[in-house]
Amino acid sequence: MAITEAQLEEILAKYPSKLQKNRKKHIIINNQECGAQTIEANTRTAPGIITNRGCAYAGCKGVVLGPLKDMVHITHGPIGCAYYTWGTRRNKARTEDLAQNFINYAVSTDMQESDIVFGGEKKLAKVIDEVVENFHPKAITVSATCPVGLIGDDINAVAKAAEERHGIPVLAFSCEGYKGVSQSAGHHIANNGLMDKVIGAGTMEKANGKYPINLLGEYNIGGDGWEVERILTDIGYDIVAVMTGDGSYEDLKNAHVSELNLVQCHRSINYIAEMLEVKYGTPWLKVNFIGVQSTIETLRNMAEYFGDPALKARTEEVIAREVARIEPMMEQYKKVCEGKTAFCFVGGSRGHHYQGLFGELGIDTVLAGYEFAHRDDYEGRQVLPDIKTDADSKNIPELHVNQDPNRFKLKLSPEKMAELKDRIPLSYYAGMYVDMKEGTIMVDDLNHYETEEFIKLLKPDIFASGIKDKYVVQKMGIPAKQIHSYDYSGPYAGFNGAVNFARDVSMGFASPTWNFIVPPWKEEPLLTGKVNAEGVA
Ligand code: CFM
């Protein structure tokens, strides 16, 4: 075992006893002999503890809505909220008509104290008018931040009036930061809004192309989505809509015509995937384009779903060509990486997905986890019926959809569906747990104290995480790779992405920088003082 229960107890012993018990439920040392192990997730972070989570507004506007390029996304709130979700996620987008790409703008109502006191509705209406006048977008979103909910601005009424004034959709999202325990709540709110107001609003009844698909939960960070599209179009798939990386309102409207929905990030978009199945009869397939083997497996599963021998043959052709092309490069980087260990702690899906890519390079993931995922992302969707809804999750309205009387079409017979489900992850996600080795650690909502303690104990060779802990880790002499924004690099998905990732990680290991880092406190004390009999300096 990489660490023992006793060592874990020692780390937790620094906490007050109530917190000790709480954190213990969020940490698992994988022990296959115990059978299925249960982890606690999607519950409140203890107040005062610094973790890496964001808020509901970040999950709604920043994550799901923000990448839709032909809509202007208005943040109704103080300027800091808009600033926080401006650009740093590196979700890229391009348009033929440059005037219809609003991705680089941060539009905010810039609420001031007087707006908090007297209400911000008039200001919001004015900002919508200005946006229409200056940008002429296809549609607009309005996302609420904490104070909006607290003072009771009716953003739905403002949006509705603006829709009538301007004749374009204005969608209001009540995603106040406090609506949930993390950004996960915001994903759900955004999913509901898009399903309710956008998907299906288009007039298309039949897709172009033989294999029409939607790509869900792919946000084109560092260009990931473009690499996935390159591979899929090369094989012959027709991508109707991407949700939401480099995505557009125009495409999303017609997403109902697809024959299959691919789900890359289960956490952020499983709600839409499920609702599309109920409303239009379109199954979803859990895919993973991170790592060479996962990409190959995904492509084969997709071909299996459509069951066409010509598609299967073309899939194998592309796989063989791509693997032959990248293998020599991967081999070279593998020599640098082989035998190393990693921590892989990311938001709600990458903590799982990147373990495979690390493994292909010969790097063992010894600790992994998610900031805000739910139990099903750790343990698999079979635990869904056992998840208790608490007061925080009840805060988010459920959207119930029904079969569309005209557009619902069973894509597969129930027999075929059952047969395929035995072989490929159709409408199912198995979670991270099954892919983790005996003795490795799974941590939910890892905090900064635990980060340092686990590093001291396990001494990983690389720490894959984000901006909020990167610098502390680097100061401990360990290379840190941002798996959220990819630092300034990418794409990391698909075949080309695997090579980029291997190169960047190898650079981290090969750099002599780490030998020169001596934290200042190791050379001279940063604080000096004496402790007297009463313990006061
Ligand atoms: Fe999905 Fe994401 Fe992730 Fe996520 Fe995110 Fe992200 Fe992430 Mo940062 S949607 S859950 S809310 S894969 S922004 S593109 S990297 S925490 S693991």
Q: What would the pLDDT profile of 21-45 be if each residue is shown by its tens digit?
A: 999 999 999 998 888 899 999 999 9
**Is residue 8 within 8 Å of residue 1, measured between CB atoms?**
no
Distance, CA 343 to ligand 1 centroid (Å)? Answer: 17
HSE (side-chain half, CA atoms, 13 Å) at 459: 0
- Residue 308: count of CB within 10 angstroms of its CB: 15
Q: Which atom of ligand 1 is nearest to the CA of 183?
A: 11
Q: Which atom of ligand 1 is nearest to the CA of 187?
A: 11
Query: Which residues are known catalytic residues?
Result: 55, 58, 89, 187
Burial state string for 385-397 with b = 16 or more CB within 10 A and e = fewer than 16: eeeeeeebbebbe
Which residues does ligand 1 sit against, CB inside 6 Å?
59, 63, 89, 183, 217, 219, 221, 265, 267-268, 346-350, 484
Tokens of 524: 């001279």
Among 187, 224, 243, 265, residue to substitute to test ligand 1 (most atoms within 8 Å of Cβ): 265
Burial state string for 461-493 with b = 16 or more CB within 10 A and e = fewer than 16: bbbbbbebbbebbbebebbbbbbbbbbebbbbb
Closest CA to 498 of 361, 385, 380: 361
Domain borders along the chain are: 56-197
Please list the pLDDT of the chain residue by residue as tens digits (537 residues): 478 999 999 999 999 999 999 999 999 999 988 888 999 999 999 999 989 999 999 999 999 999 999 999 999 999 999 998 999 999 999 999 999 999 999 999 999 999 999 999 999 999 999 999 999 999 999 999 999 999 999 999 999 999 999 999 999 999 999 999 999 999 999 999 999 999 999 999 999 999 999 999 999 999 999 999 999 999 999 999 999 999 999 999 999 999 999 999 999 999 999 999 999 999 999 999 999 999 999 999 999 999 999 999 999 999 999 999 999 999 999 999 999 999 999 999 999 999 999 999 999 999 999 999 999 999 999 999 999 889 898 888 889 999 999 999 999 999 999 999 999 999 999 999 999 999 999 999 999 999 999 999 999 999 999 999 999 999 899 999 999 999 999 999 999 999 999 999 999 999 998 888 887 777 888 777 777 777 665
**Is residue 169 within 8 Å of residue 139, measured between CB atoms?**
yes
**Residues sharing a CB contact under 8 Å with residue 341, sequence separation 6 or more, in sequence order:** 363, 364, 365, 366, 458, 459, 460, 461, 462
CATH of 56-197, one of 3.30.465.10, 3.40.50.1980, 3.40.50.2300, 3.10.20.30: 3.40.50.1980
Q: Helix or strand or coil: residue 144?
A: strand
**Is residue 529 within 8 Å of residue 263, measured between CB atoms?**
no
For atom 10 of ligand 1, the residue with the nearest CA is 348
**Is residue 491 within 8 Å of residue 223, measured between CB atoms?**
yes
Distance, CA 374 to ligand 1 centroid (Å)? Answer: 13
Distance, CA 415 to ligand 1 centroid (Å)? Answer: 35
HSE (side-chain half, CA atoms, 13 Å) at 314: 16
**Is residue 463 within 8 Å of residue 414, measured between CB atoms?**
no
- What's the CA gap between 508 and 501, in Å, rounded? 11
